[in-house]
Structure 1
Amino acid sequence: MEIGISTFLETTPDPVTGQTISHAERLREAVEEIVLADQVGLDVYGIGEHHRKDYAGSAPAVILAAAAATTKRIRLTSAVSVLSSDDPVRVYQAFATLDGLSNGRAEIMAGRGSFTESFPLFGYSLEDYDELFEENLELLLAIRASEKVTWRGGHRPAINNLPVYPRAVQDPLPVWVASGGNPESAVRAGTLGLPIAFAIIGGMPERFAPLVNLYKEAAARAGHNPDKLQIATHSHGFVGETNEQASALFYPSTQAQMNVIGRERGWGGTYNRAAFDDARSLRGALYVGDAEYVAEKIILLRKNLGVTRFFLHVNVGYMPHREVLRAIELLGTKVAPIVHAELARTEGK
C-alpha cells in the first residue's frame, strides 16, 4: 500500500489574510514539499496539469525534475497530464527525461482533463474530447513500447518509422489512466492492462466498488491478471495534531475553492460547514483529522476498494506553507506506519 501526496499547486487568495501567493513562490514551495515527502518516507508525489491563474502547475515534469536531484526514493508523477490536448511525443520525452534525472522514478498519469482551458489554448476542439484522448493514449503507449514508431491517427500528423529520444530508464515507463468515475475509462484501463487512479472528491468512496469491478473484469477479459494491477485513489484531505485542529485549518480554503469551482460548473448551492463535516465522516470522501483517524479511513478504503496507492490532496485552495509541510510530515511519520502495521496484521503485507 503506497501513500503519497497530490497537488494542483493552488495560488488562490488566502481565505484568512486575502493575500495571493505568486506562481514562482508556489513552485518553490512544491519542491520543498517533495523533498520533505521523500525524507519522511512517502512513496509518491503527483502534480496536476492546469492552465489557469489559480494553479501554478502547467508543466508538472519540469517541477518534478527540479526535485529529482535532491530526492532519493520518492516516485514522481503527473496527476494528471492532460493527454487530450498535448503531443504524446513531447509527453513521453519530458517524462523520460525526468526518469533519467531521477534514475527511474518517473510516472505519467494520463487523463482527459476535468478542466478544459488547455483545449482552446493549444488549438483543440472540445468536440473531439474523447477521440483525442483515445488516439493520444494509443500513440503514447506505442512510443513507450518501441524506440522507433510508426503510427497514424485522425488529429495528429502521422509518424513513419521515426525514433523518439531519450528513452526512459524504466522499461516500460509507468503510464496510469486517471478517471473521475467514468465507467468507460475503467474499462479502457482494464482492457489495456494499465493501472488506474480514481479521483474521489465527493460522496462515499465505497460507491466506486462497481467501477473497480468493471476495471478488473475488463482486464481479465483482455488476458491481464487483475490481481497484479494497481489501483489508486486521490482524495482531498489534511492531517493535523487533532481532528478539531485539522478541520479548523482545512475548512476555510476548502470552502472558498469548492464554491469557486461549484459556480463554474453549475453545481448549485454553496459549500458549507455541514457539507464539510459530512464529507469528513468515516465513510465520506474527505480525509481530514488526526493521524489515527486519517489512517482509519485509508484502511477502510483499502478494505472496500482494494486500493494499492492512496494520494492525499493536501490543500484545496491555498493554505500556509508551514501547515502543508506539517501535514506531509504527519502523513509520512504517523499515518503511513499505522496503515502499514494494520495491513501487515490483517493481510500479512
Structure 2
Amino acid sequence: MKIELGITSFGDNNRIHTPEGIQDKIPADERIRNIVEEIKLADSLGLDIYGLGEHHRADYAVSDPVTILAAAAAQTSRIRLSSAVTVLSSDDPVRVYQRFATLDALSNGRAEIMAGRGSFIESFPLFGYDLRDYEMLYEEKLDLLMAVNNNERVTWSGSTRQPIENKGVYPRAVQDELPIYLATGGTPESSYRAGALGLPITYAIIGGNPLRFRQNIAVYHAAADSHGVDKSRLKIATHSWGYIAETDEQAFQEYYPPTAASHNVLAKERGWPPYSEQAYMHEIEHGALYVGSPERVAQKIIDTAEGLGLDRFMIHLPMGSMTHDRTMNAIRLYGERVKPIVDAYFAQK
C-alpha cells in the first residue's frame, strides 16, 4: 500500500508580515518564479504531485496554472503536475484539454486536471458568465471535458455553447486519458457526481475533523456501485492547510501570523468572525491544520489517510504572506522527514 504525498498552492502574494509590521506585497512575477523553485524542490525530494490553483484576485499571483506548470515541467522529471483547481465553469473545456495535453507533452505524461467550480466567483463576470447558470455551466462543461478527453473527434451539444459536430481536438495527450479529479469542498452532490462518473475525487478539507468526510466518501462509493463503475478508477485525495518546522513550537509560532492574516481578509468579505489563536490551536489539535514537527505532521497524515482510505494526501502551502525561505524549508522537511515516516508505515500494511 502506498499513499501519494504532494503539495497544493494558490500562489498567495499577500503582504509580508514581519516583526516591524506589514511590508510591501510580494510582486506577482517574484511569486511565480518562486513557485517554479518550489516545484523543482518537491520533485528532487521525491514528492508525487504538485497542484496549483487558479484565481483572479489581487491577493493571488496565479490566473493560469498551466503556464507555470509548463515552466516547471521542463525543469523536473517525475512529479505529477496538476491544477488545484481549474475553474471549469468559466473556462472552455476544449481549450482546457488542449492546454493540459500540451503540458502532458512537455512533461512526458505527468499532467493532471483538478476540475471544480472554485470557491471564488471573480472569474464569472470577468469572462462573461452569469452566476445564475452556476450549476448548469459546471455540469455541461464537465460533460464536454470528459467527451474531449475520451475521444479524438467530438460530437456534443448543450445549452451553454454552440454544438460541436464531429470535430477533432488536438494535440492529444501523451497519456491515453488525462486524469481528471473532481474537486469539491465536501457537498454530497459532488461526491455522488464523481462516483457516478467514475472520476477520482479531491476533497478540500479546510476545517473541522477530517474524518467527518467518511460520509462523503460513502456517498462516492455508493454512487459508483449503483452506476456499475470499475472500482479501479476510483481514487480519493484530500488537501489541507499545513506547515512543517523543526519543532512543534516553531511551526505553531511561524504559521499563525500568515494564517490569521489570510483568514481575516476573507472574513471581512464573507462575514466570518476574526481568527483567533484558540481557533488556530483547536484546528491543529483536532481539526484540519497539519502544522508541527515532521513527526507530528507525519502521524496526522497517517491517521487521516488510514481513517478515510486515501490514495493521495496533499499539504497546502504556503499560506498567505509566508516567506519563500520558510516555504522551501517546509517542503524540504516534508520530503526528507515526513515522507519516509508515512512511506514506512504504509509499506507494512
TM-score, with length taken from structure 2: 0.97
Aligned counterparts of 2:324 and 2:45: Cα–Cα separation in 1: 17
**Do the aligned partners of 1:3 and 1:44 also contact (CA within 8 Å) in 2?**
yes
Q: How does 1:1-349 map to 2 (within 5 A)?
A: 1-16=3-18, 17-226=22-231, 228-267=233-272, 269-281=273-285, 283-345=286-348, 347=349
**Do the aligned partners of 2:50 and 2:81 also contact (CA within 8 Å) in 1?**
yes
Tell me by how many angstroms 1:19 deviates.
2.1
Aligned counterparts of 1:222 and 1:266: Cα–Cα separation in 2: 40
Greater mean deviation of Cα atoms: 218-227 or 176-185? 218-227
TM-score, with length taken from structure 1: 0.97
Secondary structure of 1:245 counterpart = helix
Which ranges in structure 1 are unaligned for 5 or more consecutive residues? none
Aligned residues: 344
Secondary structure of 2:199 counterpart = coil
Tell me by how many angstroms 1:141 deviates.
0.4
Aligned counterparts of 1:94 and 1:49: Cα–Cα separation in 2: 14
Which ranges in structure 2 are unaligned for 5 or more consecutive residues? none
Aligned counterparts of 1:157 and 1:50: Cα–Cα separation in 2: 26
Aligned counterparts of 2:142 and 2:150: Cα–Cα separation in 1: 12
Secondary structure of 1:165 counterpart = coil
User: Quick one: percent identity of the two aligned structures?
Assistant: 56
Tell me by how many angstroms 1:344 deviates.
1.6
Deviations 1:210-251 (A, max 9, x none): 001100111111112446511000100001100111111111
Secondary structure of 2:186 counterpart = coil
Aligned counterparts of 2:318 and 2:260: Cα–Cα separation in 1: 11
Secondary structure of 1:54 counterpart = coil
Aligned counterparts of 1:138 and 1:229: Cα–Cα separation in 2: 18
**Do the aligned partners of 2:73 and 2:107 also contact (CA within 8 Å) in 1?**
yes
Task: Kindly provide the amino acid, as one letter, of the partner of residue 15 in structure 2.
Answer: P
Deviations 1:148-197 (A, max 9, x none): 10100101111111111110001111101000011000000000000000
Deviations 1:273-327 (A, max 9, x none): 111000001x310000010000000011012111111111112202110110010
**Do the aligned partners of 1:231 and 1:307 also contact (CA within 8 Å) in 2?**
yes
**Do the aligned partners of 2:305 and 2:313 also contact (CA within 8 Å) in 1?**
no
CA RMSD of aligned residues (A): 0.9
Deviations 1:112-166 (A, max 9, x none): 1110000000000111111100000000000011111010010111111111111
**Do the aligned partners of 1:199 and 1:233 also contact (CA within 8 Å) in 2?**
yes
Secondary structure of 2:155 counterpart = strand
Aligned counterparts of 1:225 and 1:213: Cα–Cα separation in 2: 16
Aligned counterparts of 2:281 and 2:168: Cα–Cα separation in 1: 53
Distance 1:301 1:227, change over 3 A: farther
Task: Kindly provide the amino acid, as one letter, of the partner of residue 302 in structure 2.
Answer: I
Tell me by how many angstroms 1:266 deviates.
1.5
Aligned counterparts of 2:233 and 2:136: Cα–Cα separation in 1: 28
**Do the aligned partners of 2:191 and 2:220 also contact (CA within 8 Å) in 1?**
yes
Aligned counterparts of 2:110 and 2:335: Cα–Cα separation in 1: 18
Task: Kindly provide the amino acid, as one letter, of the partner of residue 241 in structure 1.
Answer: E
Tell me by how many angstroms 1:96 deviates.
0.3
Secondary structure of 2:60 counterpart = coil
Tell me by how many angstroms 1:18 deviates.
2.2
**Do the aligned partners of 1:250 and 1:315 also contact (CA within 8 Å) in 2?**
no
Aligned counterparts of 1:241 and 1:306: Cα–Cα separation in 2: 28
Task: Kindly provide the amino acid, as one letter, of the partner of residue 7 in structure 2.
Answer: I
